[in-house]
Structure 1
Amino acid sequence: MAYFNFTYIDCTFLIMSFLCRALSVPLILVTLSIPAIADDYLASMMDIISPPQSQISVSIWDVETKQTIYSLNDNTLMLPASIQKVITAVAASHQLGKDFHYQTELSYDGRISNNILEGNLYIHFQGDPTLKRKHLSALISKLKQQDINQITGSVLLVADESKQIRAPGWAWDDLGICYAAPVSNYIIDRNCVKTTLKPTKEASSVSIKSIYPITMTSTAEFDSSIDVKDAQKHFCELHMQRFDNNHYEIDGCYPGNKSIRLAIAVNDPSLYSKNVVADLLTENDISYQAISISSNKNLPRSVDTTHNGHTVIATHESEHLPALLKTMLQKSDNLIADSLLKQIGKEYFHQSKQAINGQQQDGFAVGAKAIEHIMLALGLPFIEANIVDGSGLSRYNLMTAHQMMSLLQLIKNDKDLQYIETLLPVSGQSGTLRYKKYFNQAPLKNEVAAKTGTMMGVENLVGYLNADNGKQYAFVIIENGLSPKAKKSRLAPFSALLLQTLNELP
């Protein structure tokens, strides 16, 4: 007979007095198996801490003994949200390798004579999600350094054709916001524009820096009689409409009388890129005939992606894959995740010499199919999973806790993937867990390395816990069906309560 007393659980953390009283009762378990003790204890605690409204899926694995110590609904398909990015990290590491990086290149054909480029200028884009205007400016300044002030031919922005720039299942009302910016092979400044909406005597006005080639008008009104907290009650909210040529209109209501900053997703990335390049050429006093978009497949053979017959002027390289993944996981960066998904698709089907519908295509479906193949090749049980994008933004993604746990186990056991654990946000220290309530204080502070996954109705967490008993546990906690009202009314997140309970195991 084994006796375990759990009276030392931190009641100030758990807050709920009834839960503290429940945990203060000595627990007597008759068993000889430590995993069984853990399973029995966790099952008993789940009866107390499980939220009544949500659907829960849980899997917990002892890293040292390599045994599952608790699971609940772990074969139920659920919405993963941003924990999907752990799948993308594993697939990118396996398919692309740590040395992978994006490249943006400036080249020309013809010749340079008397400060004139007699030929065409090419800017080769690769869909680098970290490419900024300043990087393009540095490339184009190389022309000035060679005393070029005129281009007799065209300026061609070249990339693989990318017809699908938003994934199926992305929420319609997210599409104008920067965290759902279009995933094109033409990306500058994250395809995101920062603007300011200001109150005026008439209604409001929009302030946009001249470096952003978009237009925006507003008929929205500020209502100083409404408090921000009461905006929903008074139906006071802003609306935005997107039109051709990167034009936007804002209407509706905003509480208070203070200016607000908006982050607007670029609607047409290729047009936006053309306008940015035109501005940069003008800034450098370089004249040209025209700027146009060109797919790699439409270039003549002498001007293909190998740049046969080209002279390369300058190249900008992104950081290598580990740094990209760190940003993706720490900041839950959707653009990096979905850009990598597309790159995984290109590389996988190119290497396997497979074609989809008779030709290579660029899109979310290609990347998602490649990740499915990679997961199965790694021996992971992903047959029933539904993978649509790399970020988890799509409402069509479906994953089980068992599948997510197989990823965490692979990361621990595969020496080439173990570095991914070091890139995860750490509770109270970094990324999305740095300021997260209940994770930035004892006993969880500094002890959890995990990826969050949050969207409307979803609050998930997957990663690793260093417990007080000296053990490390891998955990998958998926919670779906959480309404905003239910989330606001509860005293602590379910994931925090479960990890607090797990931390107290003997």
Structure 2
Amino acid sequence: MNRLFWIALSVFLLFNSCASTNRIAKPRQIEKFFSQPFYKNQFTGFKLFDPQTKKTIKGIHANKYFIPASNAKIVTLLSALKTLNDSVVGLKYLKQNDTLYIKGTGDPSLLHPYFKDSTVIHFLKNVSMPIVLQTGHYDDQPYGPGWAWEDFDTYFSPEKSALPIYGNVLSIHNENDSLKIAPKSFKDAISFEKTRFKRERLKNSFSFVKPTQDTLQIPFITSDSLTSRLLSNAIEKEIILQDSIKTGIYRKLFTVKTDSLLARMMIESDNFIAEQLLLLSSDALTDSLNSGKARKHILETHSQLFGKVPRWVDGSGLSRYNLMSPDQLVNVLNELYNVVDRNRLFALFPKAGINGTLKTYGQAEGDPFIIAKSGSFGNTYNLSGYLKTKSGKVLIFSFMNNHYQQPSSSIKNKIYELLKAIRNEY
């Protein structure tokens, strides 16, 4: 009997020792991964966190600041989920003295090339009184600080505004050799010739080679007068411009579902939607449209997530002034994981091998195991999100790469290699 007891005890201790060794080996394997020569000439940060045990599995330079690029949208997502309702407020209006006073909220969906929402148009068409568009509550700049000036004519860099219309872009589509242009009022401002930029820098004058199939989108220069004119054309009524804001109790006109904007921002990495979401958050919090107020609110009310304050200057991550750490991004992802319904949350993120910016990332193997937001521009590639393991766990990670010179495809392959190994081992 004693002999059987000692044999059983020995087997128990042996297995316990092996399990303990494996637990120690996993973080060590991750550390060994980052000691490869591949990472010698770049800045790399990584954090792997278990939200169930609330413990960090491994951190490599996790408290250091990196340029997040579009990983900044993860914090913008937090801002929107904390401040906005299920549906977006597309317009605020006040009926007074037989006049309808309206003001924009930052909602980007009005006649947007993707959303094509016309709720505001139908509402205003049915109004029989004079319409006054008020603009004095907008307290922001058309571009974020640190945006690249030469991107002014690129589809991913439209101007911000209080009442965007048509997504603040000129859209041109070749359909059966016939060009479809929106808004139509720019038709006479287009010339078909190849130039360095598709629009003059300080003028809404466009020049480009005729598109063959894909829709071409070029940002236009916004202004209160242009917004008024485009809106007036759409509703076929006069719009009166007014800088001052009429006091009173404004009613709200709701348009698209908030999650439709959030999904577009996260899955397609839509910069314009990200910037407008911060303005929508500002509108929900204050009487003005100022993205800085929305950012300040989140940083102050959720300071426990950030520790030392990050440098967060825009909603999209287009600015190279932004600085965030893997620690901070993991903390924000963990907050989202804890307060948002799991199915809803995962539906807002790209899935590797399935959709959005991660559609060609890795390979879809049944249920996608990488649910994450990428962030990239020159010499920068980051990936932060959720990792489903083979044992059924969900881990949270942030993998940040700055100042590298090798192809981004090599960086992506290395990230996938590590995440797949973690998925198999945990």
Q: Shift in Å at residue 477 of structure 1?
A: 0.7
- 2:150 aligned with 1:173, yes or no? yes
Q: Shift in Å at residue 324 of structure 1?
A: 2.9
Look up the match of 1:306: 249
Alpha-carbon spacing, 1:239–1:432, altered in 2? closer, same or farther (3 Å): same
Q: Which amino acid aligns with 2:352?
A: S
Instruction: Tell me the percent identity.
Output: 21
- 2:40 aligned with 1:68, yes or no? no
Alpha-carbon spacing, 1:293–1:432, altered in 2? closer, same or farther (3 Å): same
Higher mean C-alpha deviation, range 154-163 or range 33-42:
154-163
- 2:136 aligned with 1:216, yes or no? no
Q: Would you tell me which structure has more helix in proportion to its own residues?
A: 2
Alignment of 1:189-200 (within 5 A): 189-195=166-172
SS state of the match for residue 476, structure 1? strand
Q: Shift in Å at residue 263 of structure 1?
A: 0.9
Q: Shift in Å at residue 492 of structure 1?
A: 5.3
- 2:355 aligned with 1:430, yes or no? yes
SS state of the match for residue 179, structure 1? coil
Alignment of 1:401-480 (within 5 A): 401-414=326-339, 419-433=344-358, 435-438=359-362, 440-442=363-365, 446-480=368-402
Aligned counterparts of 1:34 and 1:413: Cα–Cα separation in 2: 28
- 2:294 aligned with 1:380, yes or no? no
SS state of the match for residue 305, structure 2? coil
Alpha-carbon spacing, 1:363–1:141, altered in 2? closer, same or farther (3 Å): closer
- 2:412 aligned with 1:500, yes or no? no
- Contact kept, 8 Å, 2:94 with 2:249, in 1: the verdict is no
- 2:112 aligned with 1:126, yes or no? no
Deviation string, structure 1 residues 172-210 (Cα, Å, up to 9, x no partner): 12222232211111211211111369xxxxxxxx96626
Q: Shift in Å at residue 243 of structure 1?
A: 5.1
SS state of the match for residue 394, structure 1? coil
Aligned counterparts of 1:260 and 1:336: Cα–Cα separation in 2: 21
Instruction: From 179, 197, 203, give the equivalent of 1:239.
Output: 197
SS state of the match for residue 92, structure 1? helix
Look up the match of 2:274: 337
Alpha-carbon spacing, 1:405–1:107, altered in 2? closer, same or farther (3 Å): closer
- Contact kept, 8 Å, 2:106 with 2:279, in 1: the verdict is no
- Contact kept, 8 Å, 1:345 with 1:371, in 2: the verdict is no
Alignment of 1:278-297 (within 5 A): 278-282=232-236, 286=237, 288=238, 291-295=239-243
Q: Shift in Å at residue 121 of structure 1?
A: 4.4
- Contact kept, 8 Å, 2:70 with 2:376, in 1: the verdict is yes
- Contact kept, 8 Å, 1:213 with 1:272, in 2: the verdict is no
Deviation string, structure 1 residues 438-482 (Cα, Å, up to 9, x no partner): 1x3348x61111111122222111111112243322110111124
- Contact kept, 8 Å, 1:186 with 1:269, in 2: the verdict is no
Instruction: From 103, 120, 124, give the equivalent of 1:140.
Output: 124
Q: What 5-or-longer segments of structure 1 have no aligned partner? A: 1-28, 112-119, 198-205, 222-236, 351-359
- 2:112 aligned with 1:158, yes or no? no
Aligned counterparts of 2:146 and 2:211: Cα–Cα separation in 1: 36
Aligned counterparts of 2:97 and 2:337: Cα–Cα separation in 1: 53
Q: Shift in Å at residue 39 of structure 1?
A: 0.7
In the alignment of these two chains, the number of paired residues is 403
Alpha-carbon spacing, 1:392–1:65, altered in 2? closer, same or farther (3 Å): same
Higher mean C-alpha deviation, range 161-170 or range 70-79:
161-170
Aligned counterparts of 1:122 and 1:346: Cα–Cα separation in 2: 17
- Contact kept, 8 Å, 1:106 with 1:139, in 2: the verdict is no
Note the aligned Cα RMSD (angstroms): 3.5
Aligned counterparts of 1:134 and 1:343: Cα–Cα separation in 2: 18
SS state of the match for residue 43, structure 1? helix
Q: Shift in Å at residue 393 of structure 1?
A: 1.3
Deviation string, structure 1 residues 70-97 (Cα, Å, up to 9, x no partner): 2111111101111111111222222x15
Aligned counterparts of 2:315 and 2:211: Cα–Cα separation in 1: 39
Q: Shift in Å at residue 382 of structure 1?
A: 4.0
Aligned counterparts of 2:161 and 2:390: Cα–Cα separation in 1: 46
